[in-house]
Copies of this chain bind each other. A is one copy, B any other.
Amino acid sequence: MNPAQIIIKKRDRESLSHEEIKYFISSYINGDIENYQMSAMLMAILLNGMSEKEIFWLTREYIDSGITLKFPESNGRCIDKHSTGGVGDKLSLMIGPIAAECGVMVPTISGRGLGHTGGTLDKLESIPGFQTQISLGRFQKIVRENNFAIIGQSDNMVPADRMIYSLRDVTGTVESIPLITASIMSKKIASGIDGLVIDLKVGNGAFIGTMEHARLLAESMSKIAKDFDKKIIINFTDMNAPLGRYIGNAVEVIEAIEFLKGNMEPDLKEVTYKLVADMLILAGVSKNFRQAEIMIDQVIENGHAFDRLRKGIELQHGNPAVIEDYSLLPQPKHTKEIYAHRTGYIKNINSKSIGYALIEVKAGRKHVDDTIDHAAGLRLFTKVGGKIIKGEKVAELYYDNDQGNKAAKDIENCFEYSRDKISTTGRLLGIHK
């Protein structure tokens, strides 16, 4: 087979065969196909699309490029949650412990923050000692012992996706439904799950801006899940404004711990309960949302979900004392208060711009190899719909470099005001059927 001929087939809108996709991916991995050939292929896929069969084969070849995990004892109860990335999204930190305590096995392989979105690994690494790069053997052991663990992508799992993802990032080929589908589904399927709950975020703070685009991605992921015989529920959730009251790393860990202590911000509660309930339903633990909600309330109230988090931190070599003593987490040197520049109701808090402003104080990263200041971040004193008087404090910025003034100014402009009262409708925009 000839790489250019296969690129030309896709360029000319023909379907690729399983053999061609297998050859292209395996030759890329072993270096026979060059980056410049892969990037031309990626652009052709982005612009010309792929059939369900092609996406299935692509996902298959991504998975087969590395090792896969298995939890044969799960009996259908191994369910993960995947979020497509947002601002202030600390959901994994709560969902893992809660679902685990309800009897679900949750083997989460997570990512780092990039651009305006945060990453679960960066948040966890705020905890002194916490290890996100542990062996897959140890990872499986922790999942078996505590029902949940959260680690970073390992070099030997789905290497094709990792290599192709970094190429997509610099060649304008990220926003392709077939490529996003194969990337997400391959990693989740390789981690040994029986089923998957997707939190598909939509809005300016998400990678997917419109419901139309979100529905196409959902349809594609749903088909591929079925092709691999995996159960799936896909939720569309609103990511125009940041989730919760804190954005950053250490501050989001605190917010997650508080959540498990029962101090829940309404939007966080709404999304967390829905996603965990879907996991319980897929696992066969609950029959419906009402049953799941009762279970979740219970494991929060009796402190068992909180205990799971403590144990999880301990098992991954973090200092479990942080969950009682937040002063053990990285502390910011400076705090800058941000005030409302007019009176009115908060119409929106532009989460994409907040994400980018926080990169300036190193709460996030522009390039994959940038370092993070785990103490940097933002606390919101108001949310969408909130009434604000000019001069009132709307947020507090935590930072430790010389970009505080610039970031604070940018964040001030992220608040959109309205003269009229704003009615909020919640974060849940529906599920994919």
Q: Which chain B residues lie closer than 8 Å to A39 at the CB level?
A: 36-37, 39-40, 43
The total of chain A residues at the interface (CB under 8 A) is 25
* Interface check A84, CB cutoff 8 A: no
A4:B35 contact, CB within 8 angstroms: no
B3:A170 contact, CB within 8 angstroms: yes
Q: Which chain B residues lie closer than 8 Å to A169 at the CB level?
A: 4
Q: Which chain B residues lie closer than 8 Å to A69 at the CB level?
A: none
* Interface check A67, CB cutoff 8 A: no
User: Taking beta carbons and an 8 Å cutoff, which residues of A are in contact with B?
Assistant: 3-5, 7-8, 11, 34-40, 42-44, 46-48, 167, 169-173
Q: Across the two chains, which residue of chain B brings its CB closest to A37?
A: B171
Query: Which of A42, A167, A170, A172 counts the most chain B CB atoms within 10 A?
Result: A172
Inter-chain CA distance A38–B40, complex, in Å, is 9
Inter-chain CA distance A47–B46, complex, in Å, is 11
Task: Given A44-B43, A47-B47, A47-B48, check contact A36 B167 (CB 8 Å).
Answer: yes
What is the copy number of this chain in the assembly?
Answer: 2
Q: Across the two chains, which residue of chain B brings its CB closest to A4?
A: B172
B171:A4 contact, CB within 8 angstroms: yes
Inter-chain CA distance A44–B36, complex, in Å, is 13
Q: Across the two chains, which residue of chain B brings its CB closest to A6?
A: B172
Which residue of the partner chain, among B11, B167, B171, contacts A172 with CB atoms under 8 Å?
A: B11
Q: Across the two chains, which residue of chain B brings its CB closest to A167?
A: B36
Which residue of the partner chain, among B5, B40, B167, B170, contacts A43 with CB atoms under 8 Å?
A: B40
Q: Which chain B residues lie closer than 8 Å to A48 at the CB level?
A: 47
Q: Which chain B residues lie closer than 8 Å to A3 at the CB level?
A: 170
Q: Which chain B residues lie closer than 8 Å to A4 at the CB level?
A: 169-172
Name 12 A/B residue pairs within 8 A (Cβ), A-sorted.
A4-B169, A7-B171, A11-B43, A11-B46, A35-B35, A36-B39, A36-B170, A39-B39, A40-B43, A40-B172, A43-B43, A47-B48
Which residue of the partner chain, among B7, B47, B170, contacts A44 with CB atoms under 8 Å?
A: B47
Q: Which chain B residues lie closer than 8 Å to A34 at the CB level?
A: 35-36, 170
8 cross-chain pairs, A with B, having the tightest CB-CB distances, nearest first: A7-B172, A40-B171, A43-B43, A35-B36, A8-B172, A36-B39, A39-B40, A40-B43
Inter-chain CA distance A240–B38, complex, in Å, is 34
Q: Which chain B residues lie closer than 8 Å to A43 at the CB level?
A: 7, 11, 39-40, 43-44, 47
A158 vs chain B, min Cβ distance (A): 20
Query: Which of A34, A40, A170 counts the most chain B CB atoms within 10 A?
Result: A40
A291 vs chain B, min Cβ distance (A): 46
Inter-chain CA distance A37–B7, complex, in Å, is 16
Q: Which chain B residues lie closer than 8 Å to A44 at the CB level?
A: 43, 47, 172
Query: Which of A36, A38, A43, A170 counts the most chain B CB atoms within 10 A?
Result: A43
Inter-chain CA distance A46–B3, complex, in Å, is 17
Inter-chain CA distance A89–B164, complex, in Å, is 43
Q: Across the two chains, which residue of chain B brings its CB closest to A10?
A: B172
Query: Which of A4, A35, A171 counts the most chain B CB atoms within 10 A?
Result: A171
A164 vs chain B, min Cβ distance (A): 11
Inter-chain CA distance A40–B171, complex, in Å, is 6
A324 vs chain B, min Cβ distance (A): 44
Inter-chain CA distance A4–B172, complex, in Å, is 5
A270 vs chain B, min Cβ distance (A): 34
Inter-chain CA distance A47–B43, complex, in Å, is 9
Query: Which of A5, A34, A169 counts the most chain B CB atoms within 10 A?
Result: A34
A180 vs chain B, min Cβ distance (A): 15
Q: Which chain B residues lie closer than 8 Å to A172 at the CB level?
A: 4-5, 7-8, 11, 40, 44
Apart from A4-B172, A11-B46, 18 more pairs, CB < 8 Å:
A4-B171, A7-B172, A11-B43, A11-B47, A11-B173, A34-B170, A35-B35, A35-B36, A36-B36, A36-B170, A37-B171, A39-B39, A39-B43, A40-B42, A40-B171, A43-B44, A44-B172, A47-B47
A292 vs chain B, min Cβ distance (A): 41
